[in-house]
């Protein structure tokens, strides 16, 4: 069902294109040998090249090139064996050279596709226009001093991949799914860690609207540097509504660059970008055209890991999971790997339920990650075995799991320590039922007289008296028999 | 190719060089003369000619992804007209 | 003392090896000449204490048997090369006080070879000019004088005017220069010395203040062809820090001076003899052809049809690249800052105060030709014409091994002449610019004197990376020219 925003004159469609800036995973910067780690002391990861000192020259980092190729292949995109670096000229405090080395007419990666999975189970292919390599700028901080801005060039020169989508998204939700999927693919490839809080992934959203059914594109505005998926969605929605309001009151939208104020939930015009920038792009004369060896591209292609879409298909096919469950598990490679370890030689549906349910819940509660989990895949698997062999009921398993999370001990140890083996001895259960009956004759009479809803109470009481260990199925069976007596 | 003072002002702004108003006309004259001189290239037939992007007939060499540089903030800041707490400082920018 | 400063580098090296004098002696002699010649304003920064210390270290190395190819030889360094711990200005106010924390690759190579640095030599601001009159630190005076008017101060040429003047005035045995459109060759011609712009990519550009990246090349300036060969061998070499540096081995260029050019074909381009070429310059060119014929080479008339478009091509490409290369001079991280109310205000004021008029002109032209709507008509067009110019040379080199032309259309002119019209000033480089656009090696050597007693230079242009043939032919011409004239100053 299409996303439409209502207006006085009718419904409006939203047209969204996203430009994502992804910091490349590499040890050193794109054109200099300085380090790229986050959070270092100011100006300690800056070479003379990054500082734009007189006479300094760029030399390209081979791994950054490979990561761009890898990402392009992950987006099923065309790899341009010849590409050119161009200078984008403008003045800003965080841009030491007075230009950014980027790519303009001939980027390293061309057209590709990214598929998003919508909640209704359908898929939508979003076109990728291009991917190019460029330098990141330094950081300027404006709140350290009343009259001065502070400049740290640690980030200056770090490699970025700019991934430009075609304007084919039509709702904030689709935009969110696009970023999520893109992030997931790059994390699978190891080309970007997708850490939006640290700024490894930033989005610029291009938004325009048009009356429902129209085909021409109206003027778009660009919302720059949004650093969370939630904010991307909020910003798009606000901006679309703003455009509609302007159009419906008879105004026009001028092309502008805006910022999203996440505190107020609004976009506003960037004062520093009043006039359109003339970037005066030209091929960087300090760099020759980048020519890729086809063998290198093939080598990267052959070594690509299984990507989320392929993995999801395999999970559905080989593990019999629903598309939805498979989708949840493959969103993150570490989760998918965790699941497969747990599911190996076991009931995959059970494994999927436990991983996506209790296990993910435990991650949230403890603030831990799949890479550093409170319960290992081996231990979770062992616990599932204890369910399958009857040692644990589903209910007991939940208790055991909670203890595993808390203590880190394997299930067998905890079962032994706490004597949590489920009671399947009919005699024992019977005795427990007898005891509860004896203590509550009036209630027994009520059930026998037809008050069925009290049966649940009896189940609870017997369960409590056995320390939760009674096998539920057996309990229900014996209780029913007992009531019939 | 003739430039008027408004155009010179906008080019000077792109280049972030302040030019006093009284200098603009003379500068416009000089620049116009230069542009007229170089505009003669328009008469050269360059159909089918590939632009020369580099004199050196080589391909771009790549370096290994090893940290070999940086880690000398004192040298980076040594020539700074103004610095504080390890940062370069400039008049405050308002976004 | 004066005898020491008349020696060539090769002679001095031989005598140092024999122990006839020390590096300290040699340096002292040159420091004395610098004192005597200070009026010429060839130096922006003199470093006598450093030089003496380096000379002493050189003598110590020699005593241990560790002498390099330039051990103890005192040189001047054009103030466009970043020298660690020594002020580097590019002759601009905007870099006044800038002390690089790194050494350029070329000067590091010279240091490794054992050279002594006397100081930083004056130049046109940011290497933009052909007269060394645009320096923020005052013009340089040519040590040569007109017979007819000895009081007139003449330009040494540019942009490496300080380098040429210092070598001609015997203040340094050799100097580094840079050449973007003729800035080594033309001042060498004006000052009666030898200089070579090697093939683009032969010397590293790392640590040299960039003017026009696709054209800039470092090169040696000295009083003999052999000295330039020795200097170039030390300066040149692949540098992994410069992506445009050629991965070519560096020959011992001095070995190319065999004196034998029999059978060589020398191209004489018709386009370099336009209507109005001065008779004197034409005469010395013809003389050069005769010398080569006498030595067994064959002159061949060639045509380089795109020559007349070289100047406008250059004056689109060089300003375009410089407008971008000079964007980093903004008062933020180094150099002089003029305070402003806002960041942009700071930029505008700093750059207005810091850049001279020629630099400002070129930045504005460059900004214009790259700007929206003009890129195709100017910059893209110029890059295509550039290819035609390079193709002209490539075609010519199918028929000839080296090309002979005059270096400059006139001898040195007076300071203050030719300054009103930027385009007229640019015509000084008409013979040198095409070589730069094509990235070819070009050498200038003194061939004779004008009627008024001023040096006239001839240029030899070679195939890419064939400096050896250029040196070989230059060595033969040098012998034939027997240019022993000295500037009146010296």
Question: Do the chains contact at B53 and A289, CB–CB below 8 Å?
Answer: yes
Rg (CA), chain B: 23
CB of C209 within 8 Å of any CB in chain A? yes
For the cut 50, the answer to whether the pLDDT of residue C386 exceeds it is: yes
Q: Are strands A11-23 and A60-61 parallel, antiparallel or unpaired?
A: unpaired
Residues of A in contact with C351 (CB under 8 A): none
Which of A98, A151, A286 comes nearest C327 by C-beta?
A: A98
Q: Which of residues 4-43 of B touch C (CB under 8 A)?
A: 8, 11-19, 27, 30-31, 33-35, 37-42
Neighbours of C374 (CB within 10 A): 18
Give the pLDDT score at C2: 52
Read off the pLDDT of residues C265-292 as tens digits, 9 standing for 90 and up: 999 999 998 877 889 999 999 999 999 9
Q: State the sign of the Cα–Cα–Cα–Cα dihedral C230, C235, C238, C243.
A: negative
**Mean predicted confidence (pLDDT) in A110-133:** 95
Average pLDDT over residues C140-165: 97
At A17, which helix (H) or strand (E)?
A: strand A11-23
Q: Is A275 on the interface with C (CB under 8 A)?
A: no
- The whole-number pLDDT of residue C261 equals 97
Q: In whole angstroms, give the CA distance from residue C305 to residue B92.
A: 55
Q: What is the mean pLDDT of residues C75-102?
A: 97
SS3 A408: coil
d(CA C19, CA C16): 5
Q: Calculate mean pLDDT across residues A366-390.
A: 93
User: A93 CB near a chain C CB, below 8 Å?
Assistant: yes
d(CA B25, CA A322): 75
B84 lies within 8 A of chain A by CB: yes
Percent of chain C with pLDDT over 70: 99
Under a CB-based contact definition with an 8 Å cutoff, are residues C186 and C435 in contact?
no
What's the angle, vertex CA A470, arms to CA A464 and CA A472, rounded to 5? 105
Q: What is the DSSP letter of A25?
A: -
Q: What is the pLDDT of residue A426?
A: 78
Residue with tokens 């403008």: A90
The domain locations on chain C are 1-490
Q: Do A55 and C82 touch (CB under 8 A)?
A: yes
Q: C225-235 and C105-112 are packed helices; what angle lies between their axes, rounded to 10 degrees?
A: 110
pLDDT range class, residue A279, cuts 50, 70, 90: very high
> Residue C1: what pLDDT?
43
Radius of gyration of chain A (CA): 30
**CA nearest to B88 within chain C:** C333
Question: Quick check: A280 and C212 CB within 8 A?
Answer: no
> Is the CB of C200 inside 8 Å of chain A's CB atoms?
no
Closest CA to C187 of A44, A429, C196: C196
State the chains in contact with C (3 or more Cβ–Cβ pairs under 8 Å).
A, B
Determine the residue of chain A that is closest to B79 in CA distance: A53
Per-residue pLDDT at C419 exceeds 70 = no
Closest partner residue to C246 (CB to CB) among B49, B53, B56 is B56
Quote the distance between the C-alpha of residue C432 and its chain's center.
Answer: 11
Chain C residues with beta carbon closer than 8 angstroms to that of B71: none
Q: Is A430 helix (H, G, I), strand (E, B) or coil?
A: helix
Contacts of A390 (CB under 8 A, 6+ apart): A422, A424, A471
Contact C146, C178 (CB under 8 A): no
Three-state DSSP at A79 gives strand
Interchain CB distance below 8 Å, C343 and A93: yes
Is C381's CB within 8 Å of B18's CB? no
Rounded Cα–Cα distance for residues C291 and C303 (Å): 22
Q: How far apart are CA A112 and CA A126, in angstroms?
A: 9
- Is B57 in CB contact (< 8 Å) with chain A? no
Contact at CB, B90 and A148, closer than 8 angstroms: yes
Q: Name the residue among A46, A144, A150 with its Cβ closest to that of B70.
A: A46
Closest CA to C219 of C473, C436, C477, C469: C436
Handedness of CA B60, B65, B69, B73 (dihedral sign): positive
Of B62, B76, B84, the CB nearest to A46: B76
* CA–CA distance, A161 with A23 (Å, rounded to integer): 6
Distance from CA of B82 to the nearest CA of A (A): 10
Helix (H) or strand (E) holding A224: strand A221-226
pLDDT at A273 > cutoff 60:
no
**Active-site annotation of C, residues:** 78, 159, 183
Write the CB contacts of C234 (distance below 8 Å, at least 6 apart in sequence).
C68, C69, C70, C109, C110, C112, C113, C115
Neighbours of C217 (CB within 10 A): 27
Q: What does A108-164 look like in DSSP terms, one character per residue?
A: SB--EEEEEE-TTS-EEEEEEEEEEEEEPP-EEESSSSSSEEEEE-TTTT-EEEEEE
B81 touches chain A (CB under 8 A): no
CA distance C205 to C292: 34
Burial code of A407-435, b = ≥16 C-beta within 10 A, e = fewer? eeebbeebbeeeebebbeeeeebbebbee
Q: What is the pLDDT of residues B24-73, one digit of tens each?
A: 999 999 999 999 999 999 999 999 999 887 776 788 999 999 999 999 99
Task: Look at residue C453 in the predicted model and tell me its pLDDT.
Answer: 97
Separation CA A231–CA A233 (nearest Å): 5
Rounded to two decimals, the ipTM of the complex is: 0.96
Rg (CA), chain C: 21
Cβ atoms C300, C268 nearer than 8 A: yes
CB pairs under 8 A between A and C: 100
Q: Which of A98, A280, A286 has the CB atom closest to C328's CB atom?
A: A98
Question: Which of A25, A31, A33 best probes binding to B when mutated, by most B CB atoms within 10 angstroms?
Answer: A33
Structure tokens of C348?
Answer: 């505008």
Question: Which residues, other chains included, contact A58 with Cβ-Cβ below 8 Å and sequence gap of 6+?
Answer: A30, A31, A32, A49, A101, A284, A286, A287, C243
3-state secondary structure of A259: strand
Cβ-based contacts of C369 with chain B (< 8 Å) = 38
A5 closest CA partner among A320, A237, A273, A248: A237
> Which of these, A68, A97, A49, A118, lies nearest to A300 by C-alpha position?
A68
CB contact residues (below 8 A), chain A span 10-39, against chain B: 26-28, 32-35
Put simply, the answer to whether C332 touches B56 (Cβ < 8 Å) is no
Segment B68-90, tens digit of pLDDT? 999 999 999 999 999 999 999 99
CB-based contact C322:C315 (threshold 8 Å): no
User: How far is CA A140 from its chain centroid?
Assistant: 28
Backbone angles phi, psi at A171, to 5 degrees: -155, 160
* Closest C-chain CA to B54: C214
Q: Cis omega before residue A190 (within 30°)?
A: no
Q: Provide the residue ranges of all domains of chain B, joining segments of one domain with +.
A: 5-42
Condensed to tens digits (0 to 9), the pLDDT of residues A292-313 reads 999 999 999 999 999 999 999 9
Determine, for residues B89 and A33 on separate chains, whether the beta-carbon distance falls below 8 Å: no
State whether residue C90 sits within 8 Å of chain A by CB. Answer: yes
Asked whether the beta carbons of C137 and C122 are under 8 A apart, the reply is yes
Total-model pTM: 0.92
User: How much is the pLDDT for B95?
Assistant: 64
How would you write chain C as a 3-class SS string?
A: CHHHHHCCHHHHHHHHHHCCCCHHHHHHHHHHHHHHCHHHCCEEEECHHHHHHHHHHHHHHHHCCCCCCCCCCEEEEECCECECCECCCCCCHHHCCCCCCCCCHHHHHHHHCCCEEEEEECCCHHHCCCCCCCCCCCCCCCCCCCCCCCCCCECCCCCCHHHHHHHHCCCCCEEEEEECCCCCHHHHHHHCCEEEECCCCCCCCCCECCCCCCCCEEEEEECCHHHHHHHHHHHCCCCCCCCCCCCCCCCCHHHHCCCCCCCCEEEEEHHHCCCCCCHHHHHHHHHHHHHHHHCCCEEEEECCHHHHHHHHHHHHHHHHHHHHHHHHCCCCCCCCCCCCCCHHHHHHHHHHHHCCHHHHHHHHHHHHHHCCCCCHHHHHHHHHHHHHHHHHHHHHHHHCCEEEEECCCCCCCECCCCCCCHHHHHHHHCCCHHHHHHCCCEEEEEEEECCCCCEEEEEEEECCCCHHHHHHHHHHHHHHHCCCCCCCCC
Residue with structure tokens 């193709």? Answer: C391
State chain C's mean pLDDT as an integer: 96
Kindly report the backbone phi and psi dihedral angles of residue A238, in degrees, each rounded to the nearest multiple of 5, phi listed first. -60, -45
Is residue C46 within 8 Å of C143, Cβ to Cβ? Answer: no
Per-residue pLDDT for C407 more than 80?
Answer: yes
Count of CB atoms situated within 10 Å of the CB of C446: 26
Put simply, whether A122 touches B (Cβ < 8 Å) is: no
Q: Report pLDDT digits (tens) over A29-76.
A: 999 999 999 999 999 999 999 999 999 999 999 999 999 999 999 999
User: Could you say which DSSP state residue B9 is in?
Assistant: H
Is the minimum CB–CB distance between B67 and chain C shorter than 8 Å? no
Range of weakest confidence among A255-269, A419-433, C293-307:
A419-433
Beta-ladder partners of A263: none
Q: What is the pLDDT of residues A137-156, one digit of tens each?
A: 999 999 989 999 999 999 99
* Interface touch A33/B87, C-beta < 8 Å: no
Yes or no, beta carbons of B72 and C378 under 8 Å apart: no
Q: Burial, B9: exposed, middle or buried (Cβ in 10 Å; 0-12, 13-18, 19+)?
A: middle
Among the CATH numbers 3.90.1300.10, 1.20.120.420, 3.40.640.10, 3.40.50.300, which is that of C1-490? 3.90.1300.10
Contact call for residues A20 and A188 (beta carbons, < 8 A): no
Residues of chain A with pLDDT > 70: what percent?
A: 99
Please tell me which chains touch A, using 3 or more CB pairs under 8 Å as the contact test.
B, C
What's the pLDDT tens digit per position in C15-33? Answer: 999 999 999 999 999 999 9
Q: Which residue has the tokens 């170039």?
A: C232
Looking at the complex, report in whole angstroms how far the Cα of residue B26 sits from the nearest Cα belonging to chain C: 11
For residues A50 and B70, the answer to whether their CB atoms sit within 8 Å is yes
Answer yes or no: are the C-beta atoms of A181 and A120 closer than 8 Å. no
Would the CB atoms of A48 and C242 count as touching at under 8 Å?
A: no
Summarize the confidence of residues C126-136 as an average pLDDT. 95
Query: pLDDT by residue (tens digit) across C430-481?
Result: 899 999 999 999 999 999 999 999 999 999 999 999 999 999 999 999 999 9
- What mean pLDDT is reported for chain A? 93
């Amino acid at each position: 069902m299409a996303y439409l925003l209502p207006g006085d004159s009718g419904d409006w469609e939203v047209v969204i294109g996203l430009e994502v800036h992804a910091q490349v995973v590499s040890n050193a910067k794109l054109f200099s040998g300085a380090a790229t780690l986050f959070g270092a002391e100011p100006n300690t990861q800056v070479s003379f090249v990054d500082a734009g000192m007189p006479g300094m020259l760029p030399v390209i980092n081979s791994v950054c090139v490979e990561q761009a190729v890898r990402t392009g292949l992950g987006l099923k995109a065309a790899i341009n064996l010849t590409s050119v670096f161009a200078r984008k000229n403008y003045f800003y405090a965080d841009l030491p050279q007075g230009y950014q080395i980027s790519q303009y007419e001939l980027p390293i990666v061309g057209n590709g596709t990214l598929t998003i999975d919508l909640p209704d189970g359908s898929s939508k292919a979003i076109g990728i226009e291009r991917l190019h390599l460029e330098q990141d700028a330094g950081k300027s901080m404006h709140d350290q001093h009343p009259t001065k801005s502070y400049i740290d060039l640690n980030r200056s020169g770090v490699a970025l991949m700019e991934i430009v989508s075609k304007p084919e998204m039509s709702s904030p939700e689709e935009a969110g799914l696009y970023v999520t999927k893109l992030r997931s693919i790059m994390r699978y490839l190891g080309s970007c860690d997708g850490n939006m809080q640290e700024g490894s992934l930033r989005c610029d959203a291009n938004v325009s609207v048009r009356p429902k059914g129209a085909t021409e594109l109206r003027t778009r505005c660009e919302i720059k540097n949004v650093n969370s998926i939630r904010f991307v969605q909020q910003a798009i929605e606000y901006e679309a509504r703003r455009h509609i309001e302007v159009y419906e009151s008879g105004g026009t939208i001028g092309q502008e660059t805006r910022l999203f104020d996440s505190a107020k939930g609004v976009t506003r015009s960037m004062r520093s970008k009043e006039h359109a920038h003339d970037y005066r792009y030209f091929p960087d004369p300090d760099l020759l055209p980048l020519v890729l060896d086809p063998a290198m591209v093939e080598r990267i292609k052959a070594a690509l890991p299984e990507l989320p879409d392929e993995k999801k298909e395999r999970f559905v096919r080989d593990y019999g999971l629903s598309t939805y469950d498979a989708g949840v598990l493959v969103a993150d490679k570490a989760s998918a790997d965790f699941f497969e370890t747990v599911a190996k030689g076991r009931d995959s549906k059970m494994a999927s339920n436990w991983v996506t349910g209790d296990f993910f819940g435990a991650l949230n509660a403890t603030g831990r990650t799949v890479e550093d989990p409170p319960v290992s895949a081996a231990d979770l698997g062992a616990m599932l075995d204890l369910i399958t062999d009857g040692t644990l009921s589903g209910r007991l398993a939940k208790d055991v799991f909670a203890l595993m999370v808390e203590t880190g001990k394997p299930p067998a140890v905890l079962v032994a320590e706490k004597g949590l083996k489920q009671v399947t001895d009919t005699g024992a259960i019977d005795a427990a039922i007898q005891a509860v009956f004896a203590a509550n004759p009036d209630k027994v009479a009520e059930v026998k007289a037809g008050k069925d809803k009290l049966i649940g109470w009896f189940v609870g009481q017997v369960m409590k008296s056995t320390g939760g260990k009674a096998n539920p199925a057996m309990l229900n069976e014996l209780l029913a028999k007992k009531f019939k007596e | 190719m003739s430039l008027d003072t408004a155009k010179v002002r906008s080019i000077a702004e792109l280049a972030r060089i302040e030019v006093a108003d009284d200098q603009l006309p003379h500068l416009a004259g000089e620049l116009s003369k230069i542009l007229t001189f170089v505009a003669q290239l328009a008469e050269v037939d360059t159909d089918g000619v590939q632009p020369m992007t580099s004199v050196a007939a080589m391909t771009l060499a790549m370096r290994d992804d090893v940290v070999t540089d940086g880690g000398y903030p004192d040298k980076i800041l040594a020539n700074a007209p103004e610095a504080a707490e390890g940062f370069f400082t400039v008049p405050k920018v308002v976004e | 003392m004066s005898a020491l400063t008349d020696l060539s580098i090769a002679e001095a090296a031989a005598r140092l090896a024999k122990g006839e004098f020390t590096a300290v002696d040699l340096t002292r002699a040159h420091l004395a000449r610098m004192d005597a010649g200070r009026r010429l304003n060839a130096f922006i920064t003199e470093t006598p204490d450093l030089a003496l210390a380096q000379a002493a270290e050189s003598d110590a190395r020699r005593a241990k048997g560790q002498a390099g190819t330039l051990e103890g030889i005192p040189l001047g360094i054009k103030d466009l090369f970043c020298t660690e711990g020594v002020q580097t200005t590019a002759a601009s106010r905007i870099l006044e006080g800038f002390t690089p924390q790194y050494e350029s690759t070329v000067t590091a190579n010279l240091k490794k070879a054992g050279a002594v640095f006397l100081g930083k030599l004056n130049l046109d601001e940011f290497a933009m000019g052909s007269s060394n009159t645009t320096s923020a630190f005052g013009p340089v005076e040519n040590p040569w004088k007109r017979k007819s008017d000895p009081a007139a101060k003449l330009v040494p040429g540019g942009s490496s005017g300080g380098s040429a003047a210092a070598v001609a005035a015997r203040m340094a045995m050799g100097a580094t220069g840079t050449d973007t459109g003729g800035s080594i060759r033309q001042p060498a011609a004006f000052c009666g010395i030898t200089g070579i712009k090697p093939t683009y990519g032969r010397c590293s550009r790392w640590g040299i203040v960039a003017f026009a990246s696709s054209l800039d090349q470092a090169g040696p300036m000295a009083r003999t062809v052999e000295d330039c060969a020795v200097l170039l061998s030390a300066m040149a070499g692949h540098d992994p820090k410069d992506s445009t540096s050629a991965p070519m081995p560096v020959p011992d260029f001095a070995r190319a001076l065999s004196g034998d050019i029999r059978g060589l074909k020398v191209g004489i381009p018709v386009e370099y003899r336009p209507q109005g070429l001065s008779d004197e310059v034409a005469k010395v060119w013809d003389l050069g052809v005769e010398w080569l014929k006498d030595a067994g080479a064959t002159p061949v008339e060639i045509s380089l049809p795109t020559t007349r478009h070289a100047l406008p091509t250059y004056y689109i490409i060089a300003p375009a690249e410089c407008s971008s290369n000079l964007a980093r001079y903004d008062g933020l991280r180094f150099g002089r800052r003029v305070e402003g109310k806002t960041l942009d205000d700071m930029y505008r004021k700093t750059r207005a105060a810091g850049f001279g008029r020629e630099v400002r002109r070129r930045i504005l032209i460059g900004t214009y030709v790259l700007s929206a709507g003009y890129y195709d008509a100017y910059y893209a067009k110029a890059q295509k014409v550039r290819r035609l110019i390079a193709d002209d040379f490539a075609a010519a080199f199918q028929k000839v091994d080296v090309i002979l032309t005059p270096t400059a259309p006139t001898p040195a002119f007076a300071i203050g002449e030719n300054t009103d019209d930027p385009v007229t000033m640019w015509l000084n480089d008409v013979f040198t610019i095409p070589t730069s656009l094509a990235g070819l090696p070009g050498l200038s050597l003194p061939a004779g004197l004008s009627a008024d007693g001023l040096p006239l230079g001839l240029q030899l242009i070679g195939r890419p990376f064939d400096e050896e043939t250029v040196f070989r032919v230059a060595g033969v011409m040098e012998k034939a020219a027997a240019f022993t004239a000295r500037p009146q100053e010296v």
